[in-house]
Structure 1
Amino acid sequence: MNFTHWRYFVLIEKDLEKTSRYIEICEDNYSTYSNQIAHSLMASASEFDVLAKSICEKLNPTGTHGSINQYFETINAFAPDVLGTEISLPRFGISFSPLGDWKKGEPPGWWTAYNKVKHHRDTEFKMANLCNLLGSIGSLLIICAKFYHLEKAAEIGSDIAVSSALSDLDGSVGLVQLPSNWYYEW
């Protein structure tokens, strides 16, 4: 199995850890914005886009998957568990559901921020803030885990538990974490 996407996620997560040396990850700082946060937001949201499209093509090969709204239709129909998944940053006492506000015709707030920063950085730069970055990275972790779950199931020819699929990854639990039942028990 190719772990390119997982390794890219780990790099993005390491950037978040470096950022946490200068900006404490807490609710008081959610509106803090910077060039580094913008850079990490662009990388994590773009990778989310790549993986979400790939997942949709696996789940519904005959569907149309050209936009975030079309991704929602497929993910909601074939993998709705993704939408309510909660992630945590235990070191900072934070947990939330980064895809919890994703609805038909209404992308997650961090996705809207990503697009505003991408297309209107001169006027929307404040949207490149810590809150939107955490939403984007948390969503990327969820979608990356689902991607490898589907990859492993296809490889062995039957559905398996998410924890079994994720056991092939490097085994480390990082700064941003999935629910404990998604991880393999060592």
Structure 2
Amino acid sequence: MGIYTNQSTSWEQYLFFERTFLEYLRYVPLSSNNNDVWSYQLSDLIVNIGSVVDSFFRNSVSSKSLDTFQGIQTHRSNVKNLKIQEFHDIFNVQYGLSNKNVYELKNYVKLSPFDKWTHNGSPFWWTDYNKVKHNRFENRKQATLNSTLHALSALFLLNVASPELIPYLVDIGVIHRMGWGEEYLKSHIVDGSINDAKPNMHEPIHAKTELFGYIYPNKSSKFDEAEQKRILSPLNKG
């Protein structure tokens, strides 16, 4: 995926949402007991996050990485009218978003924000976002802690998997691997996954913020849950 706006803009927007959500968690912590908690603050947050996800997809249709994607010119000529169904047919088909996992680092919970995304079926948080967006009064209880968490994790994933954003995120230290220089690290990541033409690795390339972590998939090297947890731990500064 990619965006044609300034590279830092999308990430700075994401970080603003993450800081806002973390502030909310001071009063309502992440817990399965709180999954269905809703609030007007969460209503504002999920609508804003969903809107940025929509913009991210819409802008990413112009990404050079999609130039050879079948039918992309038709989508580009109709970009203002694209719906979640077309976003699936482009981005999930091209990048396999429904198979990618993000880790919530407060409790080390695995999230799959695009799980079960099909042409005819939207992620549950996207459905909740749309309901709140179109009728905040009637659907206010759809703005739950769990829906907002998954929406935010989706935006995190879109950023760290974007070919245009990856070099920037390496430069600012969001994406790293201990012992590798920036340019060498960038050369190992292709469209959000590890370039398997490169040698096996004993330490995964990963992206990490205060709230989320992502291990870049690599067919040549597998890392078990314990190893992934160690790498993504806030105590690991590598």
The alignment's TM-score, normalised by the length of structure 2, stands at 0.66
Q: Where do 1:1-186 residues align within 5 Å?
A: 2-58=7-63, 59=66, 60=69, 61-64=72-75, 65=79, 66-80=82-96, 82-147=97-162, 149=163, 151=164, 166-171=169-174, 173-181=208-216
8 A contact 2:106–2:211 mirrored in 1: no
User: Where is the strand percentage greater, Structure 1 or Structure 2?
Assistant: 2
Partner-residue secondary structure (3-state), 1:179:
strand
- Aligned pair count reads 172
> Which runs of 5 or more structure 1 residues have no equivalent in the other structure?
153-161
- Which has the larger displacement, 25-34 or 82-91? 82-91
> Which runs of 5 or more structure 2 residues have no equivalent in the other structure?
1-5, 176-207, 218-230, 232-236
Partner-residue secondary structure (3-state), 2:110:
strand
Q: 1:155-180 CA deviation, whole Å, 9 max, x = no partner?
A: xxxxxxx5x66313453832332323
How far 1:39 moved relative to its partner? 1.2
Partner-residue secondary structure (3-state), 1:122:
coil
| C-alpha RMSD over aligned residues | 2.3
Structure 2 Cα separation of the partners of residues 170 and 8 of structure 1? 17
| Pair 24,43 (structure 1): closer, same or farther in 2 beyond 3 Å | same
Structure 2 Cα separation of the partners of residues 15 and 28 of structure 1? 21
Partner-residue secondary structure (3-state), 2:103:
strand
8 A contact 1:86–1:178 mirrored in 2: no
**What is the percent sequence identity of the aligned residues?**
20
Q: 1:116-168 CA deviation, whole Å, 9 max, x = no partner?
A: 00111111100001111011001001112223x2x16xxxxxxxxx5x66313
Q: Name which structure has the greater RCO, CA cutoff 8 Å, separation 6+.
A: 1
Larger Rg: 2
Q: Which AA in structure 2 matches 1:166?
A: L
Q: 1:12-33 CA deviation, whole Å, 9 max, x = no partner?
A: 0001110110101111101000
The alignment's TM-score, normalised by the length of structure 1, stands at 0.83
Partner-residue secondary structure (3-state), 1:44:
helix
Structure 2 Cα separation of the partners of residues 79 and 171 of structure 1? 20
8 A contact 2:7–2:168 mirrored in 1: no
